Amino acid sequence: MNIQERFLKYVSFDTQSDPKSSLTPSTLKQLELARYLVDEMKGLGIDNARLDEFGIVYGTIPSNNDHQGPVIGFIAHMDTSPDAAGNQIHTQLIQDYHGDTIILNQEKGLSLDPHEFPDLLNVIHHDLITTDGTTLLGADDKAGVAIIMQMAEYLLSHPEFKHNDIQIAFTPDEEVGRGTENFALEQFPAEYAYTIDGGNIQEIEYENFNAFSAVVEITGKSIHPGSAKNAMINSIHIAQEFDAMLPVHARPEATEGYEGFNHLHDIHGSCERTVMEYIIRNHDLDLAKKQCQDFKNIADFLNQKYGYTMVEVKIDQSYLNMKEHILEHMYIVDNAIAAMKACGVDAVSVPIRGGTDGANLTYMGLPCPNLGTGGFNFHGPFEYVSLTMMNKQVEVLLKIIEMSLGE
């Protein structure tokens, strides 16, 4: 099976995760792809491929080299984002892309225009897969799954290619921040690993956001509007006041690079009660903590202003920046960069404006930087993936394995 066939098969599974669910995994439909992958892995010769009770797939490609090198792992996630529709995905193949506008959906007037999406200029003469403009594509992270499985097939069909044990894992619920909460390192005995969950394959990432979530609950005073003067306190208006007191320049649409942000991603309510949900991000932990304190300070100010506890803020930590731990194992990054260069890929280190399973795994004791998939515009109908980059990333992973034997 080639990588295009693999990827198209994987995106045919609806694997959206659900941030509101208390199930593990958050949606049982993710298990359909997990079971398929276990069967596929066993068919390739990964005899210990297995699905655990938490929806995580593990497997080992056995050493054919008398264990003369480190045990390396490769990880991708099976779920797709809840931000856009993820079922009944209709794809289109663009061969030898020439840099023109790609029509996604004529009826809806949706297209990929290089003037609006300049990354398209980096994939001229690549073979691309896009959506039809009605769903996300699922390259995040089924492209990563396909790359790892293509690598596995190569290793298992080419016994002359020497390698140590190679650990593979596919996780659920990464998109809702729960990808590693049940990850068992004893089931994944690697010295270090790479998540394949980024964008352009030129990029290697070992710095990510420090991530927190905030839930702001506002209790108003609902009075009949006909007799509301000097009595009603509309919680929706207080929510607007709260949000307006956060710095406008620290919203996602005003930030880039290492700049942090506060993102209001959900708000619902009535006169009596309104709930706002934010994500808080910054590469600098001290600045992230200051952002969290801003939320508490605003709540205190509004409670004092209106004379009762009307605003309550709950803040939880999601994940932390893995940089300080990766710096203690920079040879992992250096090896990947050397492998990329050996494969003709101009490597560049960039900060992740998000997070990966690798961040939590690094804090758990498994150093785990992130590599690209060739996917772009994740989480929406403008998502596309470069098959050319995907095939090249398979070469890079094989080169990482080959070069690791010299460690």
Token match 């663009």: residue? 94
- CA torsion 273-300-267-77 (nearest 10°) is -130
Q: Regarding beta strands 370-372 and 203-205, do their DSSP bridges make them parallel or antiparallel, or are they unpaired?
A: antiparallel
- Tokens 């403008």 -> residue: 382
Q: Is 165 a catalytic residue?
A: no
5 is catalytic: no
- Cα distances (Å, whole numbers) of residue 358 to 181, 209, 222, 333, 362: 12, 12, 46, 13, 6
User: Quick check: 376 and 368 in contact, CB under 8 A?
Assistant: no
Q: Which of 40, 127, 174, 175 is catalytic?
A: 174
Which listed residue (14, 40, 79, 395) is catalytic? 79
**153 vs 22, 66, 240, CA distance in Å?**
35, 20, 54
- DSSP count for the chain of H helices, then E strands: 9, 18
Report residue 230: phi and psi, to 5°. Answer: 60, 15
**Residue positions annotated with a catalytic role:** 79, 174
